[in-house]
Amino acid sequence: MQRLTTTPFGQRMISAGLLATESLAAQKPDVPQYNKWELFRNLCTARVAFGITDRDLTVLNALLTFHKPDALTEDDNLIVFPSNAALSTRAHGMAESTLRRHLAALCQAGLILRHDSPNGKRYATRGEGGELVRAFGFDLAPLLIRAMEIADAAQQAERGALALKRLREEAVLMARDVWKLIEFGMAEGIKADWQALTARLAPLQAALRRKLAHGDLMDLKPVLATLLNDVRKCFDILNETEKMSGNVARNERHYQNSNTDSCEFEPCLEKSKGVEPEVSDDPEPDMDKLPPKMPLGLILKACPDILDYAQGDIRHWHQLCATADFVRGMMGISPHAWAQSQTVMGRENAAIVLAGILQRMSQINSPGGYLRVLTHKAQDGAFSPGPMIMALLNSDQSKAA
């Protein structure tokens, strides 16, 4: 359809932006047609790049509904001519003064173009066959011409949003690790200036509650990494005191059973003496048997392999214990050794130890024998699962570095 004018009606003045949009509308589009709703979704994603708001998009959505075909086509009439009342209804009752402001913003962004009649009203005239001959209103041609530009901007916006999300996830996870490790260190009574470390963490946590830009997160990440490293150093002395070893022979005799037909992959030491040890059904309460002070999330971070055997997510201690009961048989740990470890250490702590053994399964020849050794040490008060978990965490950290 022929365009008859490029100048606006009334007191609106011609601007350089208007002339640029007029020149753009005269160009041939890169694609002959484009689905208007797909184009609209792309524009919603890339709205920041075009300097428009969500309210501007509400008005554009209303304008697109007046174009009946789903596709914007090069040879079609792309001028829509709704009255302000009709446009207000489809824009969810937006006031006319607000409508005019958002229509002006869409024109300023070069997404639509006014085609004003001599009296400024929007209307169309038809020929004898009922076809549109002339229309005055808002021209949607700039949308079709810029369709590929809008699609590219949407892809860039999605990539930027994904990169920002991942960067924020990394920062939040580091802050969580710092806080959980500080909690654990304070609960275990490890000597360190936890108050100063907490004071360093507080402003970083406050910053993460805000919606930070990519540059701000990039500045925040190394600060968190330094703080996390300083917190981990507080556990170095603890790790040197007791490290988890994959070879039981370093501390105790290594037990193996060469009878592969036996359903019990590790021997019971007392059986060789003809004595079956009794597992107390009502053990005396001991501090080592109390629920662990370590956060469950810290355990799963150090021993992620146990998650492969869980029935769904592990969010509570009873789920970790149930998973440990299930995987115990697969590891070749006898029911007696497992019951003894639970009696001595407590159910939750025994599950933590089993998860740690599973994490180092490739380095341990006899999981059952190793569990018995740790159980005997725990009975003598010479073992707790905390240093084992910290050793695993530090091992993962060194591998990542």
Dump pLDDT digits (tens) for 145-184: 999 999 999 999 999 999 999 999 999 999 999 988 888 8
**What is the reported pTM?**
0.53
Q: What's the CATH code, domain 16-145?
A: 1.10.10
Q: What is the pLDDT of residue 3?
A: 54
Dump pLDDT digits (tens) for 70-109: 999 987 788 888 988 999 999 999 998 999 899 989 988 8
Q: What is the pLDDT of residue 182?
A: 87
pLDDT over 90 (residue 56) = yes
Dump pLDDT digits (tens) for 254-265: 444 443 333 333
Handedness of CA 87, 91, 93, 96 (dihedral sign): negative
User: Is residue 199 classed exposed, middle or buried when 0-12, 13-18 and 19+ CB atoms within 10 A define those classes?
Assistant: exposed
Dump pLDDT digits (tens) for 318-364: 899 999 998 888 888 888 889 999 999 899 999 999 999 999 888 88
pLDDT category at 7 given cuts 50, 70, 90 is low
What does the alpha-carbon distance between residue 109 and residue 60 come to, in Å, rounded to a whole number? 12
Domain ranges of the chain: 16-145, 161-234, 247-400
Nearest to 340 by CA among 355, 354, 326, 319: 354
Q: What is the pLDDT of residue 186?
A: 82
